[in-house]
A and B are shown apart, each in its own frame.
Chain A
Amino acid sequence: MRVYHFSEHPYPNAWDDPHGYLRVDLPNRALDPKIAADLFHRYHDEYLLADELGLDLMLNEHHQTATCMNATSIVSLSIMARQSKRARILILGYPIGHRSDPMRAAEELAMIDVISRGRLEMGFVKGVPYEFAPSNANPVGVMDRFWESHDFIIKAMTTHDGPFNWEGEHFHYRQVNLWPRPWQQPHPPVWSTTASKSNARVLGERGYVIAVLGSGYNTRMLYDSYREGYASTHNGALPGPDRFAYLALFATAHNETEARRRGELVAGYLRTGANVYPPFKSPPGYFSVDDTARLLRGFTPERSFTKDRRVVDMRTASVQDLIDSVLMVCGTPDQCYQQITDFIEYTGGLGNLLIMAQAGFLSHADTVDSLTLMAKEILPRLKEYKQPAAAAIAAA
């Protein structure tokens, strides 16, 4: 069992800007570079602490937003590659669906893998809807572009006998010859996120790590689609828990009252994350015609479920609702352990827990305490915890 520390590197000082929207069009005069520098240093310190404590590290990127200052994850990944000592370093994800230059992506990721001496976990995503305006990538056909970019990066990383050329539908390169090549062979492990059963199956067929967020007690169907896909290409064998990841917000403390207080602060991420001018939320072609038509007709897909099948709206939910739907793990270390293992039993096996242990206005001291408790009081028990057996999964 691995636990990854994650922060979006927020700039919460601008969250009450009267402009109203936090992503895409919030004028950047709302950011004070001196405060931003202090925040970056502080967040990086927390990551390095997590490394010392035995946790792993997850980074991501978003664009033109006060919710996440990591405008290019490569910068923070590079710092971690050099400064951390032992942790796995996960990028989740690198938005290759709207990145215009996969050759550059392959070079960056290979360098980070080498500098970290083989600690890179390589998560690819298509990119969130509201970043097709800032990137200017066409939202129509994004999955085609995602897979071509993926195929190119993998070929670049695994070709060692001289240059090749690439003349694809979306990308063109000559004399491709990656220097340095990655440390890990044949290439760093690939992860991706999904909320759809069909994509989950595709990830299973390829044996990549599937990461899910926001679905709570509705996650099992995605994992089972993954298992079907995996079995179809692995002679019927079922994937181990290390193929599955789940992201939850996280807050712990010695007593429940304090943990809940921290949980409220961390929940600020969910309460602000969707604060986007509506046209940027559903760019043309990003969702299928059928899904777009349903959205226009006012139907929003039900996403986050509690154990008793209540649907939770993550933007407005109470901390209790967030706990019930495993959008957040929150409480004393004992309570957190119970919430996590209950959820793992439900999923049929989960080897990578991604925790947003810092978000919003949660202070450095609170984050340090929360991470320390996770590492010292929860993680050792999770490492001893016995995952559900493969046979039990097959029977489910």
Chain B
Amino acid sequence: MTLQDSATGMTVNGIRLEVVEKGRGRPLLFLHPGIGLDPGAPVIDKLAEQVRVIAPSHPGFGGSEQPKTFTTVDDLAYFYLDLLDELDLKDVVLVGVSFGGWIAAEIAVKSTARLSHVVLANAVGIKVGARDMRDIADIFAITEPELNKLAYFDPKPAERDYKAMAEADVRVIARNREASARYGWSPYMHDPKLKSRLHRIRIPTQFLWGAADRILSEDYGRAYCAAIPGARFETIARAGHYPHVEAPEAFARAIFAFMQGQAK
């Protein structure tokens, strides 16, 4: 691996990756949700006050390369295990939101050797309910305004005027949507095997849950939490499916408190 430019990218296993890196100290690998990563997101700065944030765009998302052979979240999980090896990171705080939480869980059931803590925020990835009921709202079957109403405590700031946006930014949105479907179309946003493997996560694990989320229910989050031994569950007020966007300070504070409470 060559770390070519910490602000824009690196190459792992020959795959060109867009990465935001900020701060010093303990490494925190931040795995973004399906809407992608805003490099200027306040949550990066908040987290970087106390840790070294490494926030890649997943292969296929943002400006990161899409390898043709990558079709499952398993592929992404093994890829990130390789990234941790190649950067030789230790005691990593692994944080994932929504789709990123799914990747984080798939990483942690495979190996926690380089991890100290896992934080899953409004994570998808498992099936808990009846077979003729969706646990996870079908984001591909509703309009964007409807989706935003389900996703956000306050949908207003999420409104976008595509005509006024730069074409490159709209391409990234299209790319993120395509990549979300590539990995999560069917089985829809979950791996049927994952739930029965979650017991393998034996390091401190914290669920953070934007309480206004209507893509996922809190019951879903609590069932997810209950499948990981000793995992704790905490809600974040005035935030929905993306608490790192709507409540970046509370999000960062909860992570720091978790790290301190469990660090020793």
Q: Interface on A for B, CB 8 Å cutoff?
A: 133, 136-141, 278-280, 283-285, 289-290, 292-293, 296-298
Contact = CB atoms under 8 A, between A and B. Distances in A.
A296 B186 contact: no
DSSP majority for the B interface? Answer: helix
A289 B171 contact: yes
B178 A289 contact: yes
Given A289-B171, A289-B175, A298 B182 contact: no
Interface of B: 71, 140-143, 162-163, 165, 167, 170-171, 173-175, 177-178, 180-182, 185-186
A261 to B, nearest CB: 38
B174 A292 contact: yes
B178 A298 contact: no
DSSP majority for the A interface? Answer: loop
Given A138-B185, A140-B182, A289-B178, A283 B140 contact: yes
Given A138-B182, A140-B181, A296 B174 contact: yes
Given A133-B141, A283-B140, A296 B170 contact: yes
A296 B174 CA distance: 8
Contacts of A136: 185-186
Contacts of B165: 297
Contacts of B143: 278-279
Contact of B182 (A137, A285, A290, A296): A285
B141 A140 contact: no
Given A133-B140, A136-B186, A139-B185, A284 B170 contact: no
A298 B160 CA distance: 13
B162 A292 contact: no
A296 B178 contact: no
Contacts of B174: 289, 292-293, 296
B235 to A, nearest CB: 30
13 contacts: A137-B186, A138-B186, A140-B181, A140-B182, A140-B185, A141-B71, A284-B178, A285-B177, A289-B171, A293-B174, A296-B173, A297-B170, A298-B163
Given A279-B140, A284-B180, 14 more contacts: A136-B185, A137-B186, A138-B181, A138-B182, A139-B185, A140-B178, A140-B181, A279-B142, A289-B175, A289-B178, A296-B170, A297-B162, A297-B167, A297-B170
A208 B177 CA distance: 34
B173 A284 contact: no
A278 to B, nearest CB: 6
A141 to B, nearest CB: 7
Contacts of B177: 284-285, 292
A105 B28 CA distance: 50
B178 A292 contact: yes
Nearest to B164: A297
Contacts of A293: 167, 170-171, 173-174
A141 B181 CA distance: 10
Nearest to B165: A297
B131 to A, nearest CB: 14
A285 B171 contact: no
Contacts of B170: 293, 296-297
A297 B163 contact: yes
A136 to B, nearest CB: 5
A139 B186 CA distance: 11
A289 B186 CA distance: 20
Task: Give the most central of A137, A279, A284, A290: most B CB within 10 Å.
Answer: A284
B190 to A, nearest CB: 14
A285 B178 contact: yes
Nearest to B144: A279
A283 B171 CA distance: 15
Given A138-B186, A296-B170, A297-B170, A285 B163 contact: no
Nearest to A133: B141
Contacts of A289: 171, 174-175, 178
Nearest to A140: B182
A138 B184 CA distance: 9
Nearest to B141: A279
Contacts of B181: 138-140, 283-285
Nearest to B182: A140
A290 B178 CA distance: 12
Task: Give the most central of B171, B174, B185: most A CB within 10 Å.
Answer: B174
Nearest to A144: B68
B244 to A, nearest CB: 23
A-B CB proximity, top 5 nearest: A284-B181, A292-B174, A285-B178, A138-B185, A140-B182
A292 B170 CA distance: 9
Contacts of A297: 162-163, 165, 167, 170
Nearest to B173: A296
Contacts of A280: 141
A293 to B, nearest CB: 4
Contacts of A140: 178, 181-182, 185
A290 B171 contact: yes
Nearest to A298: B163
Contact of B140 (A137, A284, A290): A284
B182 A141 contact: yes
A73 B43 CA distance: 53
A116 B175 CA distance: 46
Contacts of B163: 297-298
